[in-house]
Structure 1
Amino acid sequence: MVSIEEVYHTAELAKIEISEKEAEKFRKEFESILEYFDILDEVEEDVEPTFQVLPLKNVFREDEPGECLTQDEALKNATHKEEGYFKGPRVVE
């Protein structure tokens, strides 16, 4: 199905050098890829595409308000804080 010349031509297009041993390996790999496409061609045209294995749609928890942290609790583990706020690195010089 795939000739060695086609493998070398593909390698040339990809700007890579391959040995004779690699060329034979790639020839076999190209053939197995094309065989897989032949299997896909056997699928009927009216088959719906599958984008996800499980039939789940937008599974979210309810957005319920809860207790907020105090400013001290929010800043408790911050390594850089200043005047009651998180301090980040300077962006504009």
Structure 2
Amino acid sequence: MPDELRSLRVLPWTTPDGKPCYLSTDGHGPVSALADQIEAMQLATGEDVLRHARLMLADPKVPPGEFRFLSARLAEALRDTLRVARSRAGG
């Protein structure tokens, strides 16, 4: 395949030390398919966490510890969503 048809894709996972992973791809192949599946799962998880957050915010009896846990999950979901957005924007 000619190099001009390939581009770098930011993958939806990182190295063990937290650095981004890239794939030189034309958008096809098993690694691209796996990345697509993981991105879809990450976005769905983000939607679930956001839905849960809205329910918790509406309940005045939620303990502070649960809000701390929720905040950590929201931060993770935002991190994943931003990585997906960067990947789809081309870097």
Fold equivalence (TM over 0.5) = no
Larger Rg: 1
Which TM-score band (shorter chain)? 0.3 to 0.5
Larger RCO, structure (CA 8 Å, separation 6 or more):
2
| TM-score between both structures, scaled by the size of structure 1 | 0.32
| TM-score between both structures, scaled by the size of structure 2 | 0.33
